[in-house]
């Protein structure tokens, strides 16, 4: 099986103002963004064998690989941030 990692550019991380923090969607609280690889699809032969899979780099929480959101301590609001 051949992994094909697409040359997608990672979405640039926004520079957060001092009142905003990255948070983990898994409930861990504050975290940092980390790069993860997700599978975008795979190709299989007529026999059902996986020939290749396409992967893509995305931002996920560094703690446990969940999605990220931004919490603003000044306003108490959360902003989804997905790539």
**Are the C-beta atoms of 14 and 22 separated by less than 8 Å?**
no
Residue with smaller CB distance to Zn ion, 56 or 63: 63
Annotate 37-80 with three-state secondary structure: EEEEEEEECCCCCEEEEEEEEEEEECCCCCCEEEEECCCCEEEE
Binding mask 9-48 for Zn ion (x = CB under 5 A): ---------------x-x-x--------------------
Select the residue interacting with Zn ion from 16, 64, 73, 79 (CB under 5 A): 64
Interacting residues toward Zn ion by CB under 5 A: 24, 26, 28, 61, 63-64
């Amino acid at each position: 099986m051949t992994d094909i990692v697409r040359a997608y550019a990672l979405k640039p991380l926004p520079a957060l103002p001092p009142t905003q923090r990255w948070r983990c969607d898994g409930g861990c609280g504050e975290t940092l963004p980390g790069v993860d690889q997700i599978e975008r699809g795979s190709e299989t032969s007529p026999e059902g064998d996986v020939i290749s899979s396409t992967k893509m780099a995305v931002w996920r929480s560094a703690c446990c690989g969940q999605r990220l959101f931004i919490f603003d301590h000044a306003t108490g609001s959360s902003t989804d941030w997905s790539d």
